[in-house]
Amino acid sequence: MSPARDGLAEPAPAKINLTLHCAAPRADGYHPLHSLVVFADWRDTLRAEPADTLSLSLEGPGADGLRDDPHNLVLKAAWALRAAADKPELGARLVLEKHLPVAAGLGGGSADAAAALRLLNRLWSLDFSLKQLAEIASVVGADVPACVWSRPLVMEGIGETITPLVAWPALHGVIVHPGVALSTADVFAAFDTQGPASKLAANALRPVAGTAEAAFGRILEGRNDLESAAMSLAPPVGEVLKTLGRLPGARLARMSGSGASCFALFDNAGEAEAAADTLCAQQPGWLVRPVVFGGALS
């Protein structure tokens, strides 16, 4: 039986880049970015119970894709938290229930790592604040600080500069994964060959907040700079975007992160659910999920 099924558990929601503006790489190879990020009610779940050693087991429909990974970000996050607390003796038995697809542009691994930081902070009674956990997360992975917050936010720098948004509304959408994996490193390499802009667009730095209609306007002003590079490596991404864009009620269709997952936004839950039903009937090989891009984790 998995630990703490009725007790200590932490959600790891999918991360969606509503916009993703990228600049040319710095001298260290990292790309400065500006991204408007939200989190969906589609998630992995991490559970924990006290133990003398630190261990991780995997279950759920997405577990097979991670079983051979000796560098799982959940354990990396746990090690980083122990180091920050200067308590290498701390242990826990962790079970990750994996539902999000791997290498899909949904930040699944980063979300899992962030959940580990929040969960173990509670289990081990360390009392780090979310801000402190986000600082610890920066050594785990570029997207992990944003996932620690798991609320609407703007992400800048190489992911370490986070501005939570207090007035961003919940939005309804559909996420589609066409069943192909994309390496983030490969997508950025293809992006570099296409001659990226040397600096971020000025309108990327405008503050965001307000009603749903204002949110749609802000999102439509943006883009995902990695779409073309991703489509050059995985043509199904382009097919997904075209299909999403033709759905009744779709306000926009865009790729998330480095792909291959894409999303469409709708005015209400009924339209999003109807779109998901249509896609499931037309494209049985795609993974389709109607979602709400909501607020902060409770």
Clarify whether residues 199 and 100 are in a common domain. no
CA dist 206 → 10, 56, 216, 265 (Å): 33, 41, 14, 21
Clarify whether residues 19 and 150 are in a common domain. yes
For residue 4, tell me if it sits in a domain. no
**Computed from CA positions of residues 225, 292, 276, 250, in that sequence, does the dihedral angle turn out positive or negative?**
negative
* Predicted pLDDT of residue 77: 98
In CATH, what number is assigned to the domain containing residue 220? 3.30.70.890
Element (H, E) at 229: helix 227-233
For residue 1, tell me if it sits in a domain. no
Clarify whether residues 135 and 155 are in a common domain. yes
Q: Is 15 a catalytic residue?
A: yes
51 Cβ contact list (under 8 Å, min separation 6): 91, 92, 93
Looking up tokens 């005015």 gives 267
Clarify whether residues 126 and 151 are in a common domain. yes
Of 247, 246, 233, 243, the residue nearest 283 (C-alpha): 243
Clarify whether residues 157 and 177 are in a common domain. no
Clarify whether residues 141 and 220 are in a common domain. no
For residue 3, tell me if it sits in a domain. no
Clarify whether residues 134 and 106 are in a common domain. yes
Which residue is catalytic, options 44, 112, 143, 225?
Answer: 143
For residue 2, tell me if it sits in a domain. no
Choosing from 164, 181, 208, the residue where a domain stops is 164
pLDDT along the chain (298 residues), means of 10: 60 96 92 95 97 94 69 92 98 96 92 98 97 97 96 93 90 97 94 77 54 91 95 98 98 97 98 98 97 72
* Predicted pLDDT of residue 88: 96
Choosing from 114, 130, 164, the residue where a domain stops is 164
Residue 81: exposed, middle, or buried by beta-carbon count in 10 A (0-12, 13-18, 19+)?
A: buried
Number of domains in the chain: 2
- pTM value? 0.92
Q: Which residue type is seen at 164?
A: P
Choosing from 114, 145, 164, the residue where a domain stops is 164
Clarify whether residues 230 and 116 are in a common domain. no
Which residue is catalytic, options 6, 15, 28, 52?
Answer: 15
For residue 59, tell me if it sits in a domain. yes
For residue 282, tell me if it sits in a domain. yes
Clarify whether residues 221 and 274 are in a common domain. yes
Instruction: Identify the domain containing residue 138 by its residue range.
Output: 9-164
Q: Is 41 a catalytic residue?
A: no
* Predicted pLDDT of residue 166: 82
